[in-house]
Structure 1
Amino acid sequence: MNTNQIEALIGMLAVLALFAIMVLPSLIGIAHDRRVDRQLREAQDHHREKEDQKSSSRSTVPSTATWYAEGRRSKKLVSS
């Protein structure tokens, strides 16, 4: 190898090293974002499972507002 080839090799290695240094933070950030997204998705799924368990164990008694509205409707029909 002559001097020109060695200088070209050193220059190419320097450029590749600088490229790696510039790209590495972006790759770390992308990996971090994916991990956070996965954790959020798992937490949402866990929350939905808990809600589904709660809603399936609830009784089907109507709320007070529904009971009151149905009572008023029946009184109107009777008084008509």
Structure 2
Amino acid sequence: MNENQIEGIIGIGLTLGILVLLTLPSLLGHLRDRRIDRQIREAQEARDGRRDQKSSSRSTVPSTAT
């Protein structure tokens, strides 16, 4: 390997390193947003599930109190 090839490899490595450093925060933010969205969706599903259970456990017999 001659000097020009080594400089080329170093340049490519530095370019890829800078690219990773620039894109990493965006990727981490995207993954965080997806995690939060999933947690919100699961909480809504759990809340809706509890509402369904409450409504089905209520008595549907009309009151006969006078």
TM-score scaled to structure 1, two decimals? Answer: 0.71
**Alignment map for 1:1-80 (pairs within 5 Å):** 1-60=1-60, 61=62
- In 2, Cα distance between the equivalents of 1:13 and 1:49? 52
Q: Report how far residue 27 of structure 1 moved.
A: 1.1
Identity %: 53
Gapped runs of 5+ residues in structure 1? 63-80
Q: Give the 3-state SS of the residue equivalent to 1:59 in structure 2.
A: coil
TM-score scaled to structure 2, two decimals? Answer: 0.84
Gapped runs of 5+ residues in structure 2? none
CA RMSD of aligned residues (A): 1.4
CA deviation digits over 1:39-59, x for unaligned, max 9? 001100100011001111223
Task: Name whichever structure is richer in helix by fraction.
Answer: 1
Which portions of structure 1, spanning 4 or more consecutive aligned residues, are displaced by more than 3 angstroms? none
- In 1, Cα distance between the equivalents of 2:49 and 2:9? 58
Larger radius of gyration: 1
